[in-house]
């Protein structure tokens, strides 16, 4: 079989909005002047296994339901713009498969969007693409999981591990799914399918999580590391935490809520962190996960350009994507 998508397979990638060409600074031709906007193409039929694939999830509905600051639907575009002019250390190619767009706030619109995201992610993973899902509120994580659920690797018994870099557990037991519920939804789905819920969280902020949420985490067997133990002096501890997580699974779903970073680094999020985990630690953990050869999907959530300052949050998110993508390549 060809390394590229066949026309039939390409039709199984159904984003609502096809991506537009990337643009950015141009220093001239040649590999020595390569930047991201020259590396990204838009044709699934030309995509080869191993290329990173980008999918946007333009959704504010989960944040709205969770009573947060809305605006994350514009996050995918801001992340693309921040990444576009970043210089590449070596030639690589990436696919942009377009956006899933959640519009309106009617009953079921978020859930339908998450299902569409899942149907976009699954064939990309099955074709050997590490997928970077650009959020959107943190409800994106359940959509990414719905995609992983449909992949061959999981159906054939691969052990899934979910690592969330986040100030919050996002295990709320609410009547309606929101940006605060995705990992409880994943836990419930894993239980229905007779699989272990293997969920780890790095950067948990005690003041941002009620005792009920800590109790839910304990009941579900969640492993977590508080933000107070994730500073630069604790780098080895954070790396051991990541290594222990990687040893527990075959397939990795990495979820990055940018509010895990300090507010000075990531002001443009729904809930800026008063404490946070240093960028240096978060980037090292992301590198470790990307280097493990187990990363299937990474979603980057909660970028809200309306509240960003000097594009700090967008640049931080793009830097993490850049580090993982170049490591994967």
Per-residue pLDDT, 18: 84
Crossing angle between the packed helical segments 279-291 and 312-328, to the nearest 10 degrees: 30
Q: Please tell me the pTM assigned to this model.
A: 0.94
What's the CA gap between 168 and 172, in Å, rounded?
10
CA atoms within 13 A on the CB side of 300: 32
In a domain, 284, yes or no: yes
Containing domain of residue 316, as a range? 7-328
In a domain, 62, yes or no: yes
In a domain, 106, yes or no: yes
Per-residue pLDDT, 107: 83
pLDDT tens, N- to C-terminus, the chain (329 residues): 233 444 444 444 567 888 889 999 999 988 899 999 999 999 888 899 999 999 999 999 888 998 888 999 999 999 999 999 999 999 999 999 999 999 877 789 999 999 999 999 999 999 999 999 999 999 999 999 999 999 999 999 999 999 999 999 999 999 899 999 999 999 999 999 999 999 999 999 999 999 999 999 999 999 999 999 999 999 999 999 999 999 999 999 999 999 999 999 999 998 999 999 999 999 999 999 999 999 999 999 999 999 999 999 999 999 999 999 999 98
Per-residue pLDDT, 116: 96
Per-residue pLDDT, 9: 44
In a domain, 1, yes or no: no
In a domain, 98, yes or no: yes
CA distances from 307 to 44, 48, 74 (A): 34, 37, 11
In a domain, 67, yes or no: yes
Per-residue pLDDT, 14: 64
Per-residue pLDDT, 2: 33
How far from the centroid of its chain's Cα atoms is residue 245's Cα? 17
What's the CA gap between 114 and 243, in Å, rounded?
30
What's the CA gap between 42 and 46, in Å, rounded?
9
For residue 100, give the CATH number of its domain. 3.40.800.10
In a domain, 2, yes or no: no
Considering all CA atoms of the chain, what is the largest pairwise distance in Å, rounded to the nearest integer?
A: 57
DSSP H helical ranges for 101-206:
109-126, 140-149, 152-155, 182-192
Q: Is 142 left (phi over 0), alpha (psi -120 to 50) or beta?
A: alpha
Closest C-alpha among 31, 43, 38, 41 to residue 4 = 43
Is there a contact between 269 and 308 (Cβ–Cβ < 8 Å)?
A: no
How many domains is the chain partitioned into structurally? Answer: 1
> Quick one: 141 exposed, middle or buried, by C-beta within 10 A (0-12, 13-18, 19+)?
buried
């Amino acid at each position: 079989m060809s390394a590229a998508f066949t026309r039939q397979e390409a039709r199984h990638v159904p984003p609502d909005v096809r991506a537009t060409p990337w643009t950015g600074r141009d220093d001239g031709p040649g590999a020595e002047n390569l930047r991201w906007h020259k590396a990204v193409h838009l044709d699934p039929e030309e995509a080869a296994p191993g290329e990173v694939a980008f999918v946007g999830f333009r959704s504010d509905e989960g944040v709205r339901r969770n009573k947060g600051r809305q605006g994350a639907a514009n996050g995918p575009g801001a992340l693309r713009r921040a990444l576009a002019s970043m210089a590449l250390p070596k030639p690589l190619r990436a696919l942009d498969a377009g956006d899933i767009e959640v519009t309106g706030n009617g009953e079921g619109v978020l859930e339908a969007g998450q299902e569409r995201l899942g149907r976009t992610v699954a064939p990309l993973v099955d074709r050997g693409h590490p997928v970077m899902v650009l959020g959107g509120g943190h409800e994106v994580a359940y959509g990414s999981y719905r995609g992983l659920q449909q992949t061959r690797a999981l159906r054939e018994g691969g052990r899934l591990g979910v690592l969330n870099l986040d100030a919050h557990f996002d295990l709320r037991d609410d009547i309606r799914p929101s940006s605060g519920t995705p990992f409880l939804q994943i836990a419930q789905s894993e239980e229905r399918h007779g699989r272990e819920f293997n969920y780890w969280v790095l950067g948990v902020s005690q003041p941002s999580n009620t005792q009920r949420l800590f109790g839910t985490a304990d009941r579900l067997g969640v492993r977590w590391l508080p933000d107070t133990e994730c500073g630069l002096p604790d780098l080895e501890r954070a790396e051991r935490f990541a290594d222990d997580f990687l040893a527990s699974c075959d397939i990795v779903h990495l979820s990055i809520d940018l509010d895990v970073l300090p507010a000075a680094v990531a002001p443009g999020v729904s809930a800026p962190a008063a404490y946070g985990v240093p960028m240096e630690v978060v980037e090292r953990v992301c590198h470790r996960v990307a280097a493990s050869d187990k990363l299937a999907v990474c979603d980057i959530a909660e970028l809200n350009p309306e509240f960003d300052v000097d594009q700090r949050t967008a640049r931080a998110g793009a830097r993490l994507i850049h580090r993982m993508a170049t490591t994967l390549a």
